[in-house]
């Protein structure tokens, strides 16, 4: 298994290279023999990932040979920042499938990038704005004029933070872009007043620093908002339908295992994160998406327009791929 590191870029940067889609070599041409045999057109795919606990099913699928059973070999391209950092690599043809938050994906689609969602991965869980125990911040209103760490400007962390805080009358928060693995240190060092944390960083920061949640990222205007999933380029989906289907079927099985077997999740986390073994078993349960339900994307679409992240709603019929 090969691992690459992708540098973080903005969705706007991705738009500037959209012309590369015409010559992208990432998807290649469908293999005639594979087509005849009903096998994936592209047997080796590069998958863009992040060091989040939500990615455990992907690693379960790798470690338990699920991808192999479905005719796929997976190589990983890692990014420590937000999902937007992986999108330029996919646009350029270096990555075939990416894990990203839907805000970044919809932003890319709104800029003309032919991105398509193929499967949900995770839904709202313990994600929230966390602060140091001695910060003096206990209510959302206390965050007025404060600095909040998010993993990418203009992505789901900023969108949910703004929407939730606005519902509490707070409109003057300063957002700072910090990779999730560095947020704990930023809180401890006083660089930021609060941080939008996901697992495993919720548990580690809680145990190491005693951080406490001030407000959930998914309440009020953001309740039940879809979070993140897997996406491909539209041309990749068109040229490699069996490859996409094999990936989705593999994730279906792996997420099923993750939901039923916490030990499998723990083993996976130990394989790709640096979380101590004694901490892994204490992570908060993750809300994996047993099946894909894209019906709530319309709510996110509209909220992004309201928050000025996109000018008009994205055509979801084109954005959601027809898999299977």
The predicted-structure confidence for 225-260, as pLDDT tens digits, reads as follows 999 999 999 999 999 999 999 999 999 999 999 999
Torsion angle defined by CA atoms of residues 106, 109, 115 and 121, in that order, rounded to the nearest 10 degrees: 0
Q: Which residue has the higher pLDDT, 111 or 17?
A: 111
* pLDDT for the residue 27: 40
Element (H, E) at 263: helix 262-272
Phi, psi (deg, nearest 5) at residue 34:
-60, -40
* pLDDT for the residue 48: 94
Give the orientation angle of helix 156-167 with respect to helix 102-110, to 10 degrees. Answer: 110
Looking at the DSSP bridge assignments, the partners of residue 171 are none
* pLDDT for the residue 82: 55
Share of the chain above pLDDT 90, in %: 70
pLDDT at 80 exceeding the cut of 60 = no
Question: Region 109-115: what's the mean pLDDT?
Answer: 95
* pLDDT for the residue 91: 87
Element (H, E) at 229: strand 228-233
Question: Region 267-283: what's the mean pLDDT?
Answer: 88
* pLDDT for the residue 32: 41
Burial of 317 from C-beta contacts in 10 A (0-12 / 13-18 / 19+): exposed
- Give the gyration radius of the chain's Cα atoms: 19
Token representation of residue 216: 């959930």
* pLDDT for the residue 88: 87
Neighbours of 136 (CB within 10 A): 9
The residue written with tokens 């087509």 in the block is 35
Grouping H, G, I as helix, E, B as strand and the rest as coil, residue 302 is: helix
pLDDT at 16 exceeding the cut of 70 = no
* pLDDT for the residue 99: 94
Looking at every residue in the chain, the average pLDDT score rounds to: 87
Specify the pTM: 0.82
Element (H, E) at 231: strand 228-233
Question: Region 281-310: what's the mean pLDDT?
Answer: 92
Question: Region 113-129: what's the mean pLDDT?
Answer: 95
Looking at the DSSP bridge assignments, the partners of residue 48 are 77, 98
Torsion angle defined by CA atoms of residues 229, 232, 233 and 239, in that order, rounded to the nearest 10 degrees: -150
DSSP string, 148-215: EEESSTTSHHHHHHHHHHHHTT---PEEEE--HHHHHHHHHTTS-SEEEE-TTHHHHHHHHH--EEEE
The residue written with tokens 């298994």 in the block is 1
* pLDDT for the residue 84: 65
Taking the C-alpha atoms of residue 162 and residue 159, their distance in angstroms, rounded to an integer, is 5
pLDDT at 276 exceeding the cut of 60 = yes
Domains and CATH numbers, the chain: 3-123+226-319 (3.40.190.10), 128-222 (3.40.190.10)
Q: For 172-199, how does the pLDDT look when each residue is reduced to its tens digit (9 = 90+)? A: 999 999 999 899 999 999 999 999 998 8
Assess contact for 62 and 50: CB atoms under 8 A.
Answer: no
The residue written with tokens 């101590």 in the block is 276
């Amino acid at each position: 298994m090969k691992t690459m590191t992708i540098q973080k870029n903005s969705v706007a940067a991705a738009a500037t290279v959209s012309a590369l889609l015409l010559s992208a070599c990432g998807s290649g041409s469908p293999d005639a023999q594979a087509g005849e045999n009903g096998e994936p057109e592209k047997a080796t795919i590069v998958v863009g990932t992040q060091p989040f606990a939500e990615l455990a099913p992907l690693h379960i699928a790798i470690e338990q040979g699920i991808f192999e059973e479905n005719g796929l070999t997976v190589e990983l391209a890692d990014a420590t920042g937000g999902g937007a950092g992986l999108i330029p690599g996919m646009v350029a043809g270096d990555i075939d499938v990416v894990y990203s938050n839907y805000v970044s994906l919809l932003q890319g689609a709104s800029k003309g990038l032919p991105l398509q969602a193929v499967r949900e991965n995770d839904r709202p869980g313990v994600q929230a704005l966390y602060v140091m125990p001695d910060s003096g911040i206990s209510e959302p209103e206390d965050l007025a004029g404060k600095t909040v760490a998010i993993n990418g400007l203009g992505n789901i962390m900023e969108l949910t933070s703004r929407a939730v805080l606005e519902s509490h009358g707070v409109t003057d928060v300063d957002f700072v872009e910090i990779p999730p693995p560095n947020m704990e240190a930023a809180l401890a060092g006083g660089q930021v007043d609060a941080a939008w944390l996901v697992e495993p960083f919720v548990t580690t920061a809680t145990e190491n620093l005693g951080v406490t949640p001030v407000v959930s990222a998914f309440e009020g205007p953001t309740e039940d908002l879809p979070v993140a999933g897997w996406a491909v380029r539209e041309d990749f989906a068109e040229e490699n339908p069996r490859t996409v289907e094999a990936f989705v079927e593999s994730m279906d099985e792996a997420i099923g295992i993750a939901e039923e077997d916490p030990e499998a999740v723990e083993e996976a986390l130990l394989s790709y994160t640096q979380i101590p073994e004694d901490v892994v078993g204490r992570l908060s349960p993750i809300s994996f998406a047993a099946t894909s339900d894209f019906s709530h994307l319309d709510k996110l679409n509209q909220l992004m327009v309201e928050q000025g992240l996109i000018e008009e709603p994205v055509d979801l019929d084109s954005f959601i791929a027809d898999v299977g």
